[in-house]
Structure formats: structure tokens, C-alpha cells
């Protein structure tokens, strides 16, 4: 039980460090990993090796992928491409179905764009459309926020799911396909929550002038940087399925190269450069859009690297053997990663930290939990994503962005955002459980 006690103490240190002392998650994760190593009696060489190899291995797998994904989102946001996509979705669905429009717009926008930024982009439109349609602003805000959260926690190339997939060695194309399916089905419950429950809450609408880009890029240009990388990754994933036998060819070679996640997202970055009217230092410089992307991606990349250290420390300590002997026959399966991610999300607030930390802890335990085949690895990533959405409340920065932008008080924030994320995460985990029963 020494390993389990050490793990619990390390997690307690992680949560206290982030919540009480406001230490950056990277340093808390790193320190917690080192403390775990000493508590379990690892020798100094093994601890140092776990730090170097844990950080280096995970950076080699997903460091650039996260950076390129953030860069695509930044160019879409700054060029007006994200606004164009949002406006087109709203136009297609229509103002009469404002809840559905907000739900789907948030869902699609949050794949390339950070959820906080997407909420800032969408909030003025949400106010105007809710006012014109005469519907509850709280209800449409719930729909928008839950759409944003669903793809933020379960659909690559959002950084959190990418990081979890890399740590667990899950196929990114498979995570994309199943993530899109499971999270989109979960939106059905979110829609009913927004229209039947959140809509009962009264939040006054204070209209502001909606500012838009004077010269907006074309819709097809705005979609290129999102759609092409996803298609390339999915194509490669399908071609790699053992059930399909594609003969060697030039086409297969090209797709195998371009569909590799790091190359696919680099292609996305290049395609995003068709959006700005002029390519100059405003985009490429250290203080431009690319510079902003580096600054925003750095914390996520380093947190993921620290998570890799934590995971490698667990692996090298031999905790997997302990889990195997202690929990044999309990059939915890996917519920352990879900519950662990939910606990971490609820206690420290960040979905990304919950995704990275849970994936790091679960990675060496995959065989013991019966989750080590490719399909179950994908479902593990999505179970963690479902857990990482439960529950958003006052220690989550997104909770405060939402309440401050909309004028909600804390109680209304709990009724709209906290209750909504509980519905989202619980529904997603239920769907995952059903799929696993059918498929496995």
C-alpha cells in the first residue's frame, strides 16, 4: 500500500499547491512527482532518469502538435476567420433555433480556438440574438458554454485531448472520430438542459455594440486550416487500421506522411496563412500572432511535460504491479480514469491539468485495468475528457469569464455552468459505457 499512499499524498500536494498557494501547475506537478519518487523509495538515478525521460519522451510526441494547434486557433481568432465560421453557422441554423445555434457554434469554434477566446467572440452575438428572439439569455449562454466545453475536453486538436492521447499512446485519428461522435451525442442532453432548466433563470441583457472585422475572410478559407488537418489525420488512421489492407502506393505514402499529426497540423498552420490580407510582422514577429501563440502554448506544453514526468515516475516505481494485485477482480475499468479526472477538475479547476495529470497516472496502469488495446486506449482518453468537464465552478477561470461577461452572479453561475457541466460529463461517460458494452 506504500505506492497508493504515496500517490494520494502526491495528489494532495498537487491540489493544495494549485488552490491554496497558487503555484503554477508545472512546478507543482514536477515537485509532486519528485516527492512521490522519494516516498516510494526510488533511488536517485531512477528519479533523475524519470524526470529527463518523462519530459523528453512526451515533448517529442506532442510538444509541436500542441503549438501548431494553438497557432491555427490564434490566426483564426485574430484574422476574423472564427467570427466568419460562427456567423455562417448561426445563419444556417437561424435565429428561431437560437439554443441549437449557440450549442453547435460553440462546439465547432472550441475545436481550434481556446474556449475562453471563443466565448469572448460569441458573447456579443449571443446577447443580440437572444434579445431579438426574446429567449432567456441564461439558456442560450448555457448552450454556448456547454458546446464550448464538450469539444474543449473531448475533441482534438484541442490541446487537452491531444496531450492525453499522446501520454496514453492512443491513435489521434481514432480519438478524433470517437470524440466527435461521443461529444456530439452528449450535446443532446446539454440542449435539453439549456432549454428546459437553464432557461428558467433570468439574466438581464445589456446590449453593447457588436464589433466585426471590416474585411472578413471567405468562409472556405476560414475552414481550410481546421478541416484539412482533421481529414488528413483521419485518413491516415483509417489506412492504418489492421482490418484494412491497402497496397503500398504513392498515395498511401503521401497520406502516411501528411496524416502524421505533427505534419497535418503544420499543414493547417500554413493553410491558416491564406486568411490575413497581408503577411507581415503583425503575424510572424515575436510580438505578433505567432509570438502570442508561443506564449499561450508554452504553459500547456510545459504542464504536459511535467505530467509526462509524473507518469514516468509512477511507471518506474512499479505501481502497476501493486494496482494489479490490489484491484484484481474489481473491474474498475474506465470508471477509474473518469472519476480521477472528475476529482481533479472539481478540486483544482483546470480541465487541461485534469486531463494531463489523470492520463499520466493512468498510463502505467493500463494493462492492470484492462485498457491497453487500441480501442480501449481511445475510450480511456475520452473517459478522462468526460471527467475533466465535471464540474466547472468558482476555481475554474472559465466560470469567471462566463459570469463576468454575462452579468450572472455566483449562484446563477452554479445553476448554469456547474450543473450543465455535470450533465455533459455524466452523459458522455454513460455513452462511452454503452459503446464499450456493444463494441468490446
Banded model confidence at residue 2, pLDDT cuts 50, 70, 90 = confident
Banded model confidence at residue 373, pLDDT cuts 50, 70, 90 = very high
Residues 141 and 125: beta-carbon distance below 8 Å: no
Tell whether the model's pLDDT for residue 324 goes beyond 70. no
Work out the burial of residue 252: count CB atoms within 10 Å of its CB; fewer than 13 is exposed, 13-18 middle, 19 or more buried. Answer: middle
Nearest to 113 by CA among 292, 357, 303, 308: 292
343 is written with which cell numbers? Answer: 476529482
Residues 10 and 39: beta-carbon distance below 8 Å: yes
Residues 212 and 247: beta-carbon distance below 8 Å: no
Q: Which of 168-172, 229-233, 246-250, 394-398 has the lowest mean pLDDT?
A: 246-250
Rounded Cα distance between 306 and 294, Å, is 18
Computed over every residue of the chain, the mean pLDDT equals 90
Rounded Cα distance between 57 and 402, Å, is 36
Residues 338 and 164: beta-carbon distance below 8 Å: no
Task: Bin 134: left if φ > 0, else alpha if -120 < ψ < 50, else beta.
Answer: left
Tell whether the model's pLDDT for residue 62 goes beyond 90. no
The better pLDDT of the pair 327, 62 is held by 62
Residue 302: count of CB within 10 angstroms of its CB: 19
The better pLDDT of the pair 322, 61 is held by 61
- Residue 325 confidence (pLDDT): 60
**260: helix, coil or strand?**
coil
Residues 172 and 156: beta-carbon distance below 8 Å: yes
Mean pLDDT in residue range 243-272: 89
Nearest to 78 by CA among 265, 276, 297: 276
Rounded Cα distance between 353 and 344, Å, is 8
**In whole angstroms, how far apart are CA 285 and each of 32, 255, 279, 281, 330?**
36, 32, 11, 5, 55
Rounded Cα distance between 30 and 57, Å, is 15
Rounded Cα distance between 406 and 141, Å, is 8
Q: Per-residue pLDDT tens for 102-131?
A: 999 999 999 988 888 889 888 888 888 888
- Virtual CA dihedral for 254, 259, 263, 265, nearest 10 degrees? 140
Question: Which DSSP helix (H) or strand (E) runs through 410?
Answer: helix 410-413
- Residue 323 confidence (pLDDT): 63
Question: Which DSSP helix (H) or strand (E) runs through 154?
Answer: helix 137-154
46 is written with which cell numbers? Answer: 531512477
Rounded Cα distance between 176 and 157, Å, is 8
Residues contacting residue 119 through CB under 8 Å, at least 6 positions apart: 106, 144, 145, 148, 398, 401, 402, 405
- Residue 339 confidence (pLDDT): 93
Rounded Cα distance between 157 and 374, Å, is 19
Q: Per-residue pLDDT tens for 177-235?
A: 999 999 999 999 999 999 999 999 998 887 755 455 457 899 999 999 999 999 999 98
Percentage of residues in the chain with pLDDT exceeding 90?
66
- Residue 385 confidence (pLDDT): 97
Rounded Cα distance between 343 and 390, Å, is 8
In the chain, domain spans: 2-439
Q: What is the DSSP letter of 245?
A: -
Rounded Cα distance between 396 and 387, Å, is 14
Residues contacting residue 437 through CB under 8 Å, at least 6 positions apart: none
Amino acid at each position: 500500500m506504500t505506492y497508493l499512499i504515496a500517490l494520494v499524498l502526491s495528489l494532495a500536494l498537487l491540489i493544495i499547491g494549485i488552490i491554496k498557494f497558487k503555484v503554477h501547475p508545472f512546478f507543482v506537478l514536477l515537485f509532486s512527482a519528485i516527492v512521490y519518487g522519494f516516498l516510494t523509495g526510488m533511488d536517485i538515478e531512477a528519479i533523475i532518469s524519470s524526470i529527463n525521460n518523462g519530459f523528453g519522451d512526451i515533448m517529442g510526441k506532442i510538444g509541436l502538435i500542441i503549438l501548431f494547434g494553438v497557432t491555427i486557433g490564434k490566426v483564426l481568432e485574430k484574422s476574423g476567420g472564427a467570427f466568419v465560421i460562427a456567423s455562417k453557422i448561426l445563419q444556417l441554423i437561424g435565429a428561431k433555433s437560437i439554443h441549437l445555434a449557440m450549442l453547435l457554434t460553440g462546439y465547432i469554434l472550441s475545436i481550434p480556438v481556446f474556449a475562453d477566446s471563443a466565448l469572448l467572440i460569441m458573447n456579443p452575438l449571443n446577447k443580440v440574438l437572444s434579445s431579438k428572439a426574446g429567449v432567456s439569455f441564461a439558456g442560450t449562454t448555457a448552450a454556448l458554454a456547454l458546446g464550448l466545453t464538450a469539444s474543449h475536453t473531448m475533441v482534438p486538436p484541442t490541446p487537452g485531448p491531444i496531450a492525453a492521447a499522446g501520454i496514453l499512446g492512443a491513435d489521434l485519428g481514432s480519438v478524433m472520430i470517437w470524440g466527435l461522435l461521443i461529444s456530439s451525442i452528449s450535446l443532446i442532453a446539454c440542449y435539453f438542459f439549456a432549454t428546459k432548466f437553464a432557461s428558467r433563470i433570468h439574466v438581464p441583457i445589456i446590449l453593447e455594440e457588436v464589433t466585426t472585422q471590416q474585411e472578413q475572410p471567405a468562409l472556405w478559407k476560414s475552414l481550410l486550416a481546421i478541416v484539412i488537418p482533421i481529414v488528413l489525420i483521419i485518413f491516415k488512421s483509417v489506412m492504418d487500421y489492421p482490418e484494412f489492407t491497402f497496397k503500398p502506393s504513392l498515395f498511401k505514402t503521401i497520406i502516411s506522411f501528411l496524416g502524421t499529426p505533427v505534419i497535418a497540423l503544420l499543414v493547417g498552420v500554413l493553410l491558416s496563412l491564406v486568411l490575413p490580407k497581408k503577411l507581415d510582422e503583425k503575424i510572424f514577429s515575436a510580438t505578433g500572432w505567432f509570438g502570442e501563440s508561443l506564449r499561450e502554448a508554452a504553459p500547456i506544453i510545459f504542464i504536459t511535460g511535467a505530467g509526462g514526468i509524473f507518469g514516468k515516475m509512477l511507471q518506474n516505481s512499479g505501481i502497476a504491479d501493486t494496482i494489479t494485485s490490489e484491484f484484481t477482480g474489481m473491474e474498475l475499468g474506465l470508471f477509474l480514469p473518469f472519476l480521477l479526472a472528475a476529482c481533479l477538475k472539481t478540486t483544482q479547476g483546470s480541465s487541461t491539468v485534469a486531463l494531463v495529470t489523470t492520463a499520466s497516472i493512468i498510463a502505467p496502469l493500463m494493462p492492470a485495468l484492462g485498457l491497453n488495446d487500441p480501442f480501449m486506449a481511445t475510450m480511456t482518453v475520452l473517459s478522462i475528457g468526460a471527467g475533466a468537464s465535471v464540474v466547472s465552478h468558482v476555481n475554474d477561470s472559465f466560470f469567471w469569464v462566463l459570469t463576468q461577461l454575462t452579468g450572472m452572479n455566483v449562484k446563477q453561475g452554479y445553476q448554469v455552468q456547474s450543473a450543465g457541466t455535470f450533465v455533459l460529463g455524466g452523459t458522455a461517460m454513460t455513452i462511452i459505457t454503452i459503446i464499450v458494452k456493444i463494441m468490446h
